[in-house]
A and B are shown apart, each in its own frame.
Chain A
Amino acid sequence: MQLDDLYRRVIMDHYKSPHNSGTFDDGAVTVEMNNPTCGDTISLQLLVKEGIIERAKFKGEGCSISIASASMMTDAVKGKKFEEALQIAQDFSAMMTGSDPEFEYEDIQALSGVTKFPARIKCATLSWNAMKKGIELSENKQ
């Protein structure tokens, strides 16, 4: 068990200075999610226009893995159509179960080490589940 497999530099960089942290003034779809087994929370906002996520921002309480994952996710889905964003989420889930998909936003690959720490997978997937929920809410609104 190598800690450096989990805590790679790129993950720590995202954790230390999360990208897309904060909230939009108005016009965003908001999803609140938590991980009831450990108390991690995320409030994710998606600015959506015509089936495209223009931007995403988040506020969260959580460990390095959950914050870094949210930071990467909000970068990765920026400007993506819903189906593209959902495909990235699906690839992320596949990576969490041991597959080795490629990501256009390469930082995400660093989270593959989480699979060696099964107790931490839920930390990594929280923000991705919030994003999927956000798309669902947007689609229901239309």
Chain B
Amino acid sequence: MIGSHIRSLFPILDQQMNGHPLVYLDSAATSQKPIQVIEAIKHYYEYDNSNVHRGVHSLGTRATDAYEGAREKLSRFINSESPKQIIFTRGTTTSINLVASSYGRSVCGPGDEIVITPMEHHSNLIPWQQVALATGATLKYIPLRPDGTILLSDVEATISSNTKIVSVTHVSNVLGVINPIKEIAAIAHKYGAKIVVDGAQSTPHMKVDVQDLDCDFYALSGHKMCGPTGIGALYGKKSLLDQMEPIEFGGEMIDYVHLQSSTWKEAPAKFEGGTPIIAGAIGLGAAIEFLEDIGLDEIEKHDRELATYAFNRLSEIEELKIYGPIVNRTSLVTFNLGDIHPHDVSTVLDAEGVAIRAGHHCCQPLMRWLQVSATARASFYLYNTEEDIDRLVGSLLKTKEYFGHAIR
């Protein structure tokens, strides 16, 4: 198992929380950062800080090389055709909003359809609602099977020749299920629709190949894959990026500026107006090197094994209900413990040093589909171990005991 070897590279994990060694099981919200990433950001500010693409001086060149080097690393990481198809953004939310506001609004009109699923995070749902409201397009949902999975026959039945955009998450942040993106993309393309993929929960845990998936857009967040907060990216096919208008205007994204009109640089520059997130991109580049050194296949194997171990251990607890399928699952387990509210579960676990997430996980429609107002979620990453899950199970048993006594 890679978990215990890797752990020492994450300084934050070596601390006591409320009198117990910290067990961090909230990586689906944000991952912790290895020392390599922290050092890369520190080094940038101590030695290379300067604005990019502007100055003629040597520091400016160094900063630009580091920033563009990070774009090349990310391009290679997800097997983009070219670094020019990688737009740095603030994260998945900003990436999807960019596609929706620019591409979505330009191609959708009355009678057109946008197809998503009920398991989408609000960030891959509300932008499309807004496009539908603004353009008169209809927002349609691919139904979920009772176990929370998507059947390709349902995809086929939902998408039509009126569908312009299909936007689906690669991995659900609640159900942990891995969706068949390549197959959904093929169906979307058969009907002439474009596919947008929310990769926030997939990129940290598995090898993503945007060309193999044949997706038109792929959105991801740096902070969930060992990188810093505030940096993410949007991959897009070149022909689509070429036809898209920018949605933010300002410095460095222009070609010529006249008194009454302006022209834009080519992608990615036309989408990156203003001083970009330089240190964030460099931190993300370091995170990618870190993950590649370990190996994405190793990480995926580890995270899947932990999810299975957690699924099995949690299943042993009476009155504990797990949401989502056991098959094709990665990196997280979402559950409720009897009728104890997930906030109360999370507070008792916190007192034991175990950090999990409680709430609706930015998935209110999915919570309604599951017929719950909130759930608890334990999510895992490369630094977690079976021992962490044993601590979780022990703390959940204490929670049951505590609330049992407290209520009686």
Contacts and interface: CB of A to CB of B under 8 A. Distances in A.
Contacts of A66: 343
B19 interface: yes
Contacts of B302: none
A123 B373 contact: no
B376 to A, nearest CB: 11
A119 B359 CA distance: 12
Interface string A1-38: 10100110100100110000000000000000000011
A38 B358 contact: yes
A71 interface: no
A65 B342 CA distance: 12
B169 to A, nearest CB: 20
B374 interface: yes
B259 interface: no
B343 A38 contact: yes
Interface in B331-390: 341-344, 347-348, 350-351, 358-360, 364, 367, 373-374
B344 A63 contact: yes
A3 to B, nearest CB: 5
Interface residues on B, range: 20 to 34
Contacts of A7: 344, 402, 406
Contacts of A117: 347
Interface residues on A, range: 20 to 34
A39 B407 contact: no
B351 A1 contact: yes
Contacts of B367: 39
A62 interface: yes
A61 interface: yes
Contacts of A62: 341, 343, 373
A38 B360 CA distance: 6
A41 B364 CA distance: 12
B18 interface: yes
B92 to A, nearest CB: 19
B374 A120 contact: no
Of listed B18, B358, B367, B373, residue having the most chain A CB within 10 A:
B373
Contacts of B344: 7, 63-65
Contacts of B358: 38
B341 A64 contact: yes
Contact of A41 (B341, B343, B373): B373
A120 B343 contact: yes
Nearest to B398: A3
A63 to B, nearest CB: 4
Contacts of B341: 62-64
B366 to A, nearest CB: 11
A40 interface: yes
Nearest to B399: A3
B347 A120 contact: yes
Given A12-B407, A63-B341, A65-B343, A39 B348 contact: no
Contacts of A65: 343-344
A109 to B, nearest CB: 18
A38 B347 contact: no
Contacts of A40: 343, 373-374
Given A12-B407, A61-B373, A3 B348 contact: yes
Interface of B: 18-19, 341-344, 347-348, 350-351, 358-360, 364, 367, 373-374, 402, 406-407
Given A40-B373, A41-B373, 18 more contacts: A3-B347, A3-B351, A3-B402, A6-B347, A7-B402, A9-B406, A12-B407, A15-B407, A38-B343, A38-B358, A38-B374, A40-B374, A62-B341, A62-B343, A63-B344, A65-B343, A119-B347, A120-B343
6 contacts: A39-B373, A40-B373, A40-B374, A63-B344, A65-B344, A119-B347
Nearest first, the 3 A-B pairs at minimum CB distance are A63-B341, A63-B343, A39-B360
